[in-house]
Structure 1
Amino acid sequence: MRQLGLGIGWRPEIARTVEELECVEWVEVVAENICPSHLHPSLVRLRGRGVTIVPHGVSLGLGGSERPDPARLAALSDRAQALGSPVVTEHIAFVGTGSRRPGGPRLEAGHLLAVPRTRAALDVLCENVRIAQESLPVPLALENIAGLFSWPDEDFTEAEFLTELVERTGVRLLIDVANLHTNHVNRGEDPARTLAALPRDALAYVHVAGGVLEDGVWHDSHAHPVPSAVLDVLADLCAHMTPPGVLLERDESFPPTDELAAELAAIGRVVTNARPSRPVPEAAEVPEAAKAPEAAKAPSREPRRRPVNHRPVAAAARDALAEQQEALLSALVASGPVPAGFDADRIRLQARLLAVKRCKVVAKVAPELPTLLGDRYRSLYLSYARRTPLTGGHRRDSVRFAEHLLLDGTLLSPSERTRLSDWWLRQEAGPRPRPGALARLTRCCRRILRRK
């Protein structure tokens, strides 16, 4: 793996700041937020300076029951090629599931959800990873994720699950030490034991991020300073291996440039001062003779460089995983019952947090809505979200929310209805509401606008 050094997550809000930070050697971009044919000028300038740019996907859902979407894989491939990236990254997670009932809606979490660490789920994940690897022009690395709850009846620890995944597919790992800390606080998992058992030469790079503790629950917010506890996990990782790259993630509440620089400096000191027991080898530079003594040890937990032979996953295995994931998503986003074996309090808490996150994302993709509705936006949206699962993405969700308000007839003042009607009619080039309501809404909006 190419040595990357110290990096930061590039976001449009801090584009100029990232360019000014002299310590930044590489950046990571959210793959879904860029257009390969019209790169942001800041990314073009960074590329011109020789700064490595890595696309980081968030919507592929390789841990889901469905095979990876060819269109999403093609889009991720296009971004890797446009950026000249040495690697692309995604998550060991699922983000939605299609209904097993004919005509039923697809349920979307709007969030990265942990997959069950079971052998059946691992079989599906491995096949999805192989499909993705065949479609991508560069190596793939997958990130461990954080969670509030655990799946019942799991077969593996996190380290065992990741090791088996690497051995069976040859995929690399993106280790998020903030997620390890989150799982330590929320689920009692020991980061030290996980790090000690990871396949060391599979490491692509490392994520570091901040969060906040509220009511005994750690929220991986990416909007707070990196705490000392997360830096301690990073130090522990560096005591076992030298990471090819370490990256600071920040997604909102961006601090001044000097504060970001100070956080990067603190991360750099941890990496510099650590004394790894064995550095991560460059695959091309490790001779076979040097590998032989390690291979003679039993049992060997080093990842194979090539995926092992495999048999296709039976359709029944995907159906069983789909049933599990749909039941969980129904409880999280559609007010369904909590499946047996889950912590009901944690599921209800996760459901509330998902609704709040969805509310914030819709406010970002359609900022006119909170501007138009003012202080009422949050309560109106959360009330709508409790009855309406997310389907079709957040942009479509913003239009459906407006449709809901206009069709109700009792939630808005006359002036709010007029302004929202005007906004809704301007969305004709974007996602549309359900067909049965289109004519009603159009007539309603035009009547309101004629009164102006």
Structure 2
Amino acid sequence: MERLGTGIGWRPEISDAVEAMPGVDWVEAVAENLCPGHLPASLLRLRERGVTVVPHGVSLGLGGAERPDEGRLRALAERAQALGSPLVTEHIAFVRAGGSLTASDRIEAGHLLPVPRTREALDVLCENVRIAQQALPVPLAVENIAALLAWPGEELTEGQFLYELADRTGVRLLIDVANLHTNHVNQAEDPALALAELPLEALAYVHVAGGYERDGVWHDSHAHPVPAPVLDILSDLASRVAPPGVLLERDENFPEPAVLGGELEAVREAVERGRAGAPARRHTGGAGPGRVGGGARGRDGGAGPGRDGGGARGRDGDERVAAVPEPVRQRLALAQTALLSALVAGTPAPEGFDRGRLGVQARALASKRAGVVAKVAPELPVVLGAGYRPAFLAYAREHPMRGGYRLDAMAFVESLLLAEQPQDATARRELRAWWRERSGPAPRSLRPAVRAARAARRALLGR
């Protein structure tokens, strides 16, 4: 694996600071925010200086019941090629549900949600990962996510789940130590045990990020300083293996460049402490990595990820992951749809879930959705003022997201105007003008009935 060094997440808001920051060996950029034909000038300058840029996807949904979308895979491949990246990364998560497998409307989470750690879900994930590997021009690494809730009836620990995934597909791992901390607080999962069970020889790089605790729940915000427990987990990992790369993530509430540089230095120091420290702690009790149900052997027990003797080999191997039977995908689709519907559409909670945690997750999803819509349509908080957030949250309770955030912003404004809201006539006029400007004429390809429905809606909104 290529040595990446110390890096930071590139975001437009801190692009100047990142360019000027000493000691930045590489950066990571959210893939969906990049257009291959019009890359930001800042990223191009970094590339010219020899700084590696890695595209980090957030919308593929490899842990979902459906096979990966060809268009999303093609877009991720295009970004990797445009940036000359040595690899691309995504998440072990599902981000949408419904659709043809459930004969229901597709709904979007707008966020990364956990995959049940069951054998069937692992089979689906492995096939999805192999499909993605075959479509991408460079190696794929997948990231463990933070979870506010747990699935009932899980069969594997996080370390075992990741070990078997890497062993069966040869995929590389992006380990987020902040997410290990989140799951420690929220699910009482031991990060040291997870590290002991992981196939660290498959490590691509490491994420580090901040968050905050509220009412006993840790929120992985990427908007707060990195806390000491997260740095301690990083040191523990570095005592077990030399990470090919370590990257600091910050997505909002950006501090001054000097403060950001100080956080990056704290990350470097944590890695050095781990390298200079005592031998790593080893888990000695219970089943070892991948041993539940007679799966792949542990780190000291023979075959490792991508090697002979442990399921399908990596992207250059000859073996293939067997196709998952459709009934397996359908069962997973129904379970994920029931959970997501409870979170974003107010349907009853599926059996076995903690209702309190479902409420926390539902509020977190709605809050993030409101925040992202405010970013992609910054005019709306200006027009609505302090009323924007409560109005959007009320809308979100009744309207699950069906497409991307820009479509969500359009649908939100449309719902306000149809309800003759807000009461201020000037604000309504501004919203109507905003909506008209972005809705555009109906494409010629639309069926007559669809064109008529859109014309009627535009007439109503034009009152």
Instruction: With the length of structure 1 as denominator, give the TM-score of the two structures.
Output: 0.91
Q: Does 1:188 align with 2:188?
A: yes
Residue type of the alignment partner of 1:44: L
- Matched with 1:96 is 96
- After alignment, is 299-308 or 353-362 more displaced? 299-308
Q: Does 1:438 align with 2:454?
A: yes
Report if aligned partners of 1:405, 1:412 keep a CA contact under 8 Å in 2: no
Q: Displacement, 1:309? A: 4.3
Distance 1:297 1:143, change over 3 A: closer
- Matched with 1:156 is 156
Q: Does 1:10 align with 2:21?
A: no
Report if aligned partners of 2:102, 2:330 keep a CA contact under 8 Å in 1: no
Q: Displacement, 1:369? A: 0.8
> C-alpha separation between the residues in 2 aligned to 1:58 and 1:388?
22
- Matched with 2:264 is 264
- Matched with 2:426 is 415
> C-alpha separation between the residues in 1 aligned to 2:423 and 2:202?
55
Q: Displacement, 1:377? A: 0.5
Superimposed CA distance per residue, residues 308-361 of structure 1 (whole angstroms, 9 cap, x where no aligned partner): 543211011100100100000110011011100111110111111111110111
Q: Displacement, 1:269? A: 1.1
The match for 2:301 among 292, 299, 302 is: 299
Superimposed CA distance per residue, residues 165-210 of structure 1 (whole angstroms, 9 cap, x where no aligned partner): 0010000000000000000001100000100111011000000000
Q: Does 1:336 align with 2:338?
A: no
Q: Displacement, 1:301? A: 5.9
Residue type of the alignment partner of 1:299: G
- Matched with 1:286 is none
- After alignment, is 353-362 or 103-112 more displaced? 103-112
Distance 1:343 1:435, change over 3 A: farther
Q: Displacement, 1:429? A: 4.5
Q: Does 1:377 align with 2:388?
A: yes
Q: Secondary structure at the match of 1:426?
A: helix
Q: Does 1:44 align with 2:60?
A: no
Superimposed CA distance per residue, residues 2-45 of structure 1 (whole angstroms, 9 cap, x where no aligned partner): 00000000000000000000110000000000011111000000
Residue type of the alignment partner of 2:167: E
- Matched with 1:290 is none
> C-alpha separation between the residues in 1 aligned to 2:298 and 2:30?
41
Q: Displacement, 1:270? A: 1.4
Q: Secondary structure at the match of 1:439?
A: helix
- Matched with 1:353 is 364
Distance 1:191 1:378, change over 3 A: same
Report if aligned partners of 2:89, 2:143 keep a CA contact under 8 Å in 1: yes
Distance 1:440 1:14, change over 3 A: same
Distance 1:440 1:248, change over 3 A: same
Distance 1:29 1:99, change over 3 A: same
Q: Displacement, 1:410? A: 4.8
- Matched with 1:425 is 436
Report if aligned partners of 1:89, 1:141 keep a CA contact under 8 Å in 2: yes
Listed as ranges, the matches of 1:177-326 within 5 Å are 177-275=177-275, 299-300=301-302, 302-305=304-307, 306-307=313-314, 308-326=319-337
Residue type of the alignment partner of 2:59: S
- After alignment, is 308-317 or 245-254 more displaced? 308-317
Q: Displacement, 1:304? A: 2.4
Q: Secondary structure at the match of 2:162?
A: helix
Residue type of the alignment partner of 1:362: V
Instruction: With the length of structure 2 as denominator, give the TM-score of the two structures.
Output: 0.89
Runs of 4+, deviation exceeding 4 Å: 100-103, 295-298, 429-432, 434-437
Q: Structure 1: which 5+ residue stretches go unaligned?
A: 279-294, 448-452
Residue type of the alignment partner of 2:359: R
> C-alpha separation between the residues in 1 aligned to 2:104 and 2:161?
32
Report if aligned partners of 1:199, 1:301 keep a CA contact under 8 Å in 2: no
Distance 1:393 1:430, change over 3 A: farther
Residue type of the alignment partner of 2:455: A
- Matched with 1:283 is none
Q: Structure 2: which 5+ residue stretches go unaligned?
A: 281-296, 308-312, 444-449
Superimposed CA distance per residue, residues 244-294 of structure 1 (whole angstroms, 9 cap, x where no aligned partner): 00000000000000001100111111112322759xxxxxxxxxxxxxxxx
Superimposed CA distance per residue, residues 373-393 of structure 1 (whole angstroms, 9 cap, x where no aligned partner): 000001111111100000111
Distance 1:213 1:169, change over 3 A: same
Distance 1:297 1:270, change over 3 A: closer
Q: Give the root-mean-square deviation of aligned CA atoms.
A: 2.0
Superimposed CA distance per residue, residues 381-433 of structure 1 (whole angstroms, 9 cap, x where no aligned partner): 1111100000111100100011101111254321111111111111035999x
Listed as ranges, the matches of 1:138-153 within 5 Å are 138-153=138-153
Q: Secondary structure at the match of 2:439?
A: coil
> C-alpha separation between the residues in 2 aligned to 1:297 and 1:189?
20
